[in-house]
Amino acid sequence: MPQAELNRYPHRRKNILTGECILVSPHRTNRPWQGETSLNETASRPEYDPDCYLCPGNKRANGEINPVYDSVFAFTNDFSSLLEDIPAGKINRENLLIAKSESGICRVLNFSPRHDLTLAEMEESDVIKVVEAWRAEYKSIGSRPKINHVQIFENKGAMMGNSAPHPHCQIWEQESIPVEPAMELKEFRKHFLKTGKSLLADYWKREKKEKERVVYEYVSFIIVAPF
C-alpha cells in the first residue's frame, strides 16, 4: 500500500519497541466531534501556597513537616503505590487466579520551592539541579539488590491524575520489570541478534531520513511522533 493510501484507509502498524500491531483508522478523523473538550489551565498560582502539601515548611497529608527547602526536595511518597517491606507471597489456583507480591519504593521529587513554576518555566541552572537529582535517585535506589526497574515520570494536570499542582515528579522503583519495558527489552535483543545493531540507533537513522515525524532534534537526541 502506498504511503498516501496509509493516510486514508484502516491498517495495522507495528510498534517496533514492543512487537505489537496497532490498528490505525485515519479516516475517522473526518467524523464530527461533539465530545468533551478541556480548556487550557491558565489560572495563576502564588509563589507560595499555605494549603499546599508540597510547599516548603508546610505540613503534608501524613502530618510530617516539609523542610524549608530552597532547591530540589525528594522524599518517600506518603501514600506509596509500592511498599518496601512487605511479606513475600503468591497464589496460583489452577493457573487461573495468579498473583505475586511486589515490593518497591515510590519517591516524590519537588522541582522547586516555588509553587507557581513548571519545569519549562524554571531557570536552566535550576533545571540542571533537577536532572542531577534524577540521576542521584536513580543510582542510589536503583543499585539496591531487590530493585530491577526505575521509572521517573510526571503527571501534568488534573486530567492526568495530578493531585498536587506544585511542580513535582514521581520516581517508582520496583522488584520486577513492568510489562511494557520488558516487551521493549525483548525487541531490542531480537533486533541486535538479527542485525548486530541497536534498534533505537536504526530507528533514529530512519526517522532522520524521512523527516515526517520529527518534532525536535538536537545533537544527542531526537523527538518523534510514533509511526
CA angle 35, 15, 170 (to 5 degrees): 70
- The answer to whether residues 218 and 208 touch, using CB atoms and an 8 Å cutoff, is no
Per the residue annotation, which of 11, 27, 115, 168 is the catalytic one?
A: 168
Contact 107, 169 (CB under 8 A): no
How far, in Å, are 110, 116, 124, 128 from residue 120 at the CA level?
14, 12, 9, 12
Are 137 and 77 within 8 A, CB to CB? no
Q: Catalytic site residue 168?
A: yes
Q: Are the beta carbons of 16 and 187 closer than 8 angstroms?
A: yes
Burial letters 64-88, b for 16+ CB under 10 A, else e: eebeebeebbbeeeeeeeeebeeee
Q: Report CA Rg, the chain.
A: 22
Specify the DSSP class assigned to residue 54: S
Strand order in the sheet with 104-110: 73-76, 104-110, 168-174, 149-153
Catalytic positions, please? 168
